[in-house]
Chain A
């Protein structure tokens, strides 16, 4: 569990940490589209430089970002190989049985690999430098326009924030149930697939039942504290755009224009 970098937050006090979560969220999303503008070596070098600079600004060190790539390494590897072997245009470099390696294939596989890496690295900046709660706040704030078409945005946001708050509590509980069942002789992770799946029943059922009990008690506590629907509430936690958000947007705009310009080199 600890190896999973997606959704993990590393506290810090860099400029990137202090950016508004919405800024980071928007820029991460936009980056995924912007990166496709690069169509030659210069474009990709420029993008690598920009992502490198962004990572440097987080003050977290490059290692955590490479760790973040590990769970997706297999996916990247397979896509790259597919590109390499099944791209049949361009000069043939090598041919054997159904596999053909061409110049276009080599170039495309490198491009796919680099794109993959840049997108993953840039989007992990958001999750690494923003507490999950702020990500949830940012999503709520950005989804606000959907309220007009009847989406209960505040309720969804409350659900997300309660879910996030209960993750460690339920993890602890799962562990103690697991240990309690082990003490009674349940063997987890042993035997074949079916036996293994069956061994999780004594963990899952108590976990579900307890989750329902918790939900009932939490509901009571929320009602006792005067909870009404989302539209009748004020908010304690507010996101605020500051000057550095402006700087970040301008920097990203310059990057976008620069990347577009590299198409004409």
Chain B
């Protein structure tokens, strides 16, 4: 596997802050992976994301994206490689209409207009928003605005998609749709797309290939979601949510039922209970 994002001994402290937001961080993310970054509020997750495309500049250490060093000189090259969807659907909507917003990134890259006219509807179609091209943001729901933000990112064909808590301000339905959209994209593009999702949402993190736990600016653990989520005690200790299936297992154990040791999804638990029931 080829590394696409490399953090080497990166530290970052916000001006006027006493403790560093990130402390000597080393991390390599491979091309084509879907990596979820979890951690409690203030653990440095968003800082981590903003360092990748030079929205923030590290105090120490070096970052490379797809072999390109992240510095002032290569800023625009890196931003061509990285697409970012932010948390608040309202505050990242630049265009006056949906189509204008999708075109914004293309305008910045000096794409000629006749090409833009083709790319914009295609990008909107991929997120099923093509019927809303002329709508104004005020008339869209939060989930729809985030889908437009996604289309804006897809229009520039990035190699890396960063979701910086992109689902945190959505209702459960909008959240599920967003995650499904990312899954479909990943399926369609395969290793051509690396997804980095920064999240509090268990479903989103469980969809990932790898989960990174950040705690107070340091990496606590890197592992598969199965391993990370089966350790309910540690999750609680770090102030993170525990998946429903793990909560259920815990309650069943307390009542003396012997449950499987390995991590189970909700569907997995349903199957297991079903089998247990038929054995009795």
Interface residues, chain A, with chain B CB atoms under 8 Å away = 133, 161-162, 164-165, 168-169, 172, 213-214, 217-218, 220-228, 232-238
Contacts and interface: CB of A to CB of B under 8 A. Distances in A.
A165 B95 contact: yes
Interface in B95-149: 95-97, 99-100, 103-113, 116-117, 120, 136-138
Contacts of A233: 107-108, 110
Contacts of A213: 91
A221 B86 contact: yes
Contact of A218 (B92, B100, B107): B92
Given A165-B96, A228-B76, A236-B103, A217 B110 contact: no
B94 A236 contact: no
A217 B91 contact: yes
Nearest to B149: A221
Contact of B100 (A220, A228, A236): A236
Contacts of B104: 222, 225, 227, 236
Contact of A236 (B50, B91, B107): B107
Interface residues of B, number: 41
17 contacts: A133-B96, A161-B95, A161-B96, A169-B138, A214-B91, A217-B86, A217-B88, A217-B91, A220-B55, A220-B92, A224-B83, A233-B110, A234-B106, A234-B110, A237-B100, A237-B103, A238-B113
B113 A226 contact: no
Contacts of A234: 106-107, 110-113, 116
A10 to B, nearest CB: 15
B80 interface: yes
A165 B79 contact: no
Contacts of B215: none
B53 interface: yes
B139 to A, nearest CB: 9
B152 interface: yes
B90 interface: yes
A220 B93 CA distance: 11
A226 B76 contact: yes
A164 B110 contact: no
Contacts of A172: 138
Contacts of B83: 224-225
Contact of A162 (B94, B97, B136): B94
A234 B90 CA distance: 24
B219 interface: no
Closest 6 pairs between A and B when the two form their complex, measured CB to CB: A236-B103, A221-B92, A168-B138, A217-B91, A226-B108, A225-B105
Interface of B: 50, 53, 55, 76, 79-80, 82-84, 86, 88, 90-97, 99-100, 103-113, 116-117, 120, 136-138, 152-153, 156
Contacts of B107: 233-236
Contacts of A217: 86, 88, 91-92
A171 to B, nearest CB: 9
A96 B108 CA distance: 70
B97 A133 contact: yes
Contact of B99 (A161, A224, A236): A236
Contacts of B111: 234
B105 A235 contact: no
B93 A232 contact: no
B113 to A, nearest CB: 6
Contacts of A221: 84, 86, 91-92, 94
Contacts of B112: 234
B96 to A, nearest CB: 5
Contacts of A162: 94
A227 B120 CA distance: 17
A11 to B, nearest CB: 11
A30 to B, nearest CB: 27
B109 A226 contact: yes
B51 to A, nearest CB: 12
A236 B116 contact: yes
B261 to A, nearest CB: 42
Nearest to A228: B108
Contacts of B94: 162, 165, 218, 221-222, 225
Contacts of B79: 223-226
Contacts of A161: 95-96, 100
A237 B88 CA distance: 26
Nearest to A167: B138
A224 B96 contact: no
B92 A164 contact: no
A169 B108 contact: no
Q: Of residues A133, A165, A168, A228, which shows the largest number of chain B Cβ atoms within 10 Å of its Cβ? A: A165
Q: Of residues B91, B95, B100, B113, which shows the largest number of chain A Cβ atoms within 10 Å of its Cβ? A: B91
B86 A165 contact: no
Contacts of A224: 53, 55, 79, 82-84, 86
